[in-house]
Amino acid sequence: MDIKHSLKQRIVIVFALMSALVAGVFAAGIIATVHVVEKRLSIMSLKGNMHRLLAVDSVNDWRHRPEKDELFYAEEGVGDLVMSDDLKGLPLGFQEFFRGKKAYYAMVSEVNGRHYVLLRDQRKFQKRERILFGVVLVGFFLSVLLAVLLGRLLASRVITPVSRLAGQVRHRDQLLELAPVLASDYANDEVGALARSFDETLGRLRAALSREKLFTSDVSHELRTPLMVLATSCELLMEYPALDDRSRTQVKRIGKATAGMNQLVETFLLLARTEGKNTPQGQRSTLVLIADELADTWRTPIEAKGLRFIYQRDDRDLDVYNAPLLRSVMGNLLRNAWHYTDQGLIQLTLRSDGFSVEDSGIGIPLEKQQAMFQPFVRGDEQRGEGLGLGLSLVQRICANQHWTVTLTSRDDGGCCFTVLLKLDSTGGKPV
């Protein structure tokens, strides 16, 4: 599992791990050194005591005594010096000896064919080792704790300029033409280099935004003129008396298409100018009026394709919405359903909180449904000449208006797009 931590947490973790490693190595070294030194000293001490005890002229008339934590035994000894059977098989030299649960250091010597054993109880050494181990363990945890505290302190000082730079970059004013440069506020270090890189990138982004604004202005001017000519020409043709019914129907279709194109251009320009902010209030209309208009527009091409068009109205929603944006959302969903459905039905259903568009078309696999709202992604690459921008535009408009659009699969095939125009969490209405 990929666990992601913030940079501050990673610095603290590195400090703690380094401290734990160093403290662990030192603790293990101290314990091992003390153990080796203790063993060496025990060997030297037992050798000296054994030599002193064996310097007596007669062991049987032995008046010297070992240290209070030592026991002395002699082969063929008498009284307290009698050597037990478990000691007789010990090899010469220094070794560890266990009698039950008690541990001893043993020194075995041989003089004139007789064996002598000097035992020293290890309990005193074991007690000292436990105390030493406890001190080392406490020191280990204290060092790790100190490393964590020091790591948090240093991480805060290191991360502060980075967090400040991130806040400045996220600020919307940084995209304005008169925004101050970032690098002047930072030292000539890695953070300063990052700030200079942001300055260069933001500069290119400002230039791109300026070019986009100029482009949208040019589009607004250049597209409106031919659309106005088309609309005016359609009006003049409708007044021409020699126009037969079939031609008049075609002129009406051209006029409606021209009006729809004009509204689509207005939608694109409106979204580009708002730059993600709430769209200013323009033409307002209810959901029912928009749906009636689009149902009348799309019924003919849908039925001409041999499909069944079902329109279920709901007059309960009397709220008004941004008409061009709502028309664009519903129109794109109907166009999408018409394009990808060859047989069956297309259904537009109005609800108290929004609407849904269903179709019995080819459907969209579950793994591709989320990607369908991305630009230039199409459901079936082999169908038509679309660019895959319709659902992306729907998503952008819904996000701009605080609406929500979801895509689900129908049980008998096809898709269902549901658009909620009201915020269920607060009970309020979107702007």
Q: What is the CATH number of the domain that holds 221?
A: 1.10.287
Domain identity same for 263 and 297: no
Residue 254, in any domain of the structure? yes
Q: 284: burial class by Cβ within 10 Å (0-12, 13-18, 19+)? A: exposed
Q: 147: burial class by Cβ within 10 Å (0-12, 13-18, 19+)? A: buried
For the stretch 259-263, contacts whose Cβ atoms lie closer than 8 Å and that sit 24 or more positions apart, written own/partner, are 259/231, 260/297, 260/331, 261/227, 262/224, 262/227, 262/231, 263/324, 263/327, 263/328
Question: Taking the alpha carbons of 348, 349, 354, 356 in that order, is the dihedral positive or negative?
Answer: negative
Residue 115, in any domain of the structure? yes
Residue 256, in any domain of the structure? yes
How many residues belong to the chain?
Answer: 431
Residue 425, in any domain of the structure? no
Domain identity same for 208 and 304: no
Residue 167, in any domain of the structure? no
Domain identity same for 311 and 413: yes
Strands 354-359, 345-351: pairing kind: antiparallel
Is the CB of residue 46 less than 8 Å from the CB of residue 189? no
CATH number for the domain harbouring residue 405: 3.30.565.10
Residue 430, in any domain of the structure? no
**What is the structure's pLDDT at 221?**
62
Domain boundary among 77, 112, 145: 145
Bridge partners of 104?
97, 121
Domain identity same for 315 and 216: no
Domain identity same for 308 and 337: yes
Domain identity same for 18 and 106: yes
Domain identity same for 67 and 111: yes
In tens digits, the chain (431 residues) has pLDDT values of: 455 667 777 888 888 888 888 888 888 888 888 888 888 888 888 888 888 777 764 555 555 566 677 888 877 666 667 788 788 888 888 888 888 888 888 888 888 778 888 888 888 888 888 888 888 888 888 888 888 888 888 877 777 777 777 777 776 565 566 667 777 777 777 777 777 887 777 777 777 777 766 776 666 667 777 878 888 888 888 887 877 888 888 888 888 778 767 766 776 666 666 655 555 556 788 899 999 999 998 898 899 889 999 999 888 778 888 888 888 899 889 988 888 888 899 999 998 889 999 999 887 777 676 767 665 455 554 444 444 567 877 888 888 888 999 888 888 888 899 999 875 444 444 44
Residue 170, in any domain of the structure? no
Is the CB of residue 150 less than 8 Å from the CB of residue 15? yes
Domain identity same for 79 and 104: yes
Domain identity same for 141 and 18: yes
Domain boundary among 253, 270, 287: 270
**What is the structure's pLDDT at 427?**
42
Domain identity same for 24 and 57: yes
Domain boundary among 235, 251, 270: 270
Domain identity same for 140 and 200: no
Residue 391, in any domain of the structure? yes
Number of structural domains the chain divides into: 3
Domain identity same for 241 and 356: no
pTM of the predicted structure, to 2 decimals? 0.47
**What is the structure's pLDDT at 242?**
78
Containing domain of residue 39, as a range?
7-145
